Amino acid sequence: MMFDAPFRSSPMSIRPEWIDYNGHLNMAYYNALMDQGVDQLWEQLGFGEDYIQANGHTTFSAEYHMRYVREVHLETPVVTTFQLLDHDEKRFHFCQELLHADEGWVAARGEGLGLHIDMSGPRVAPMPPEVLAKFDALAKAHSPLPKPDWVGQPMGIRRK
């Protein structure tokens, strides 16, 4: 299986109800867009909507850090990227960017840790071999990419 490096979603539109009283995209919907973008990759990996029905497994977010870089307005077409940084049979570390679909500027950056979940617990559980093989292929495709310098950065007030 071939994967883009990094993965890039198809263009997405901003919904009018996502615009806050400041006239730009509300912070909650940056996360929604990142999630919708990664759903497109999940289909390729076998984690699509029917995965939970067929296997009783799914993925959960364990941790996610968002950095807001530039305002997004109603008419802004966007795409998301996804870069796999590391994984094992139960976990995956990744980063994402929300980009203007035409101009390419960065609106937001996110870094996360995801878990493969057996819903009978629910509990963290190993991925089935066929799904893990796809994650291995994704990791191989993404391995030449440099780790972004903003990954792993601490949060806090920077003082002189």
Please report which confidence band the pLDDT of residue 48 belongs to, taking 50, 70 and 90 as the band edges.
confident
Q: Does residue 1 register a pLDDT over 80? A: no
Please report which confidence band the pLDDT of residue 113 belongs to, taking 50, 70 and 90 as the band edges.
very high
Residue 10 near residue 74 (C-beta atoms within 8 A) = no
Residues 104, 91: Cα–Cα separation, whole Å? 30
Return the residue matching tokens 């699509």.
48
Mean residue pLDDT across the chain = 95
**Mean pLDDT, range 104-117, rounded to an integer:** 98
Residue 40, pLDDT score: 94
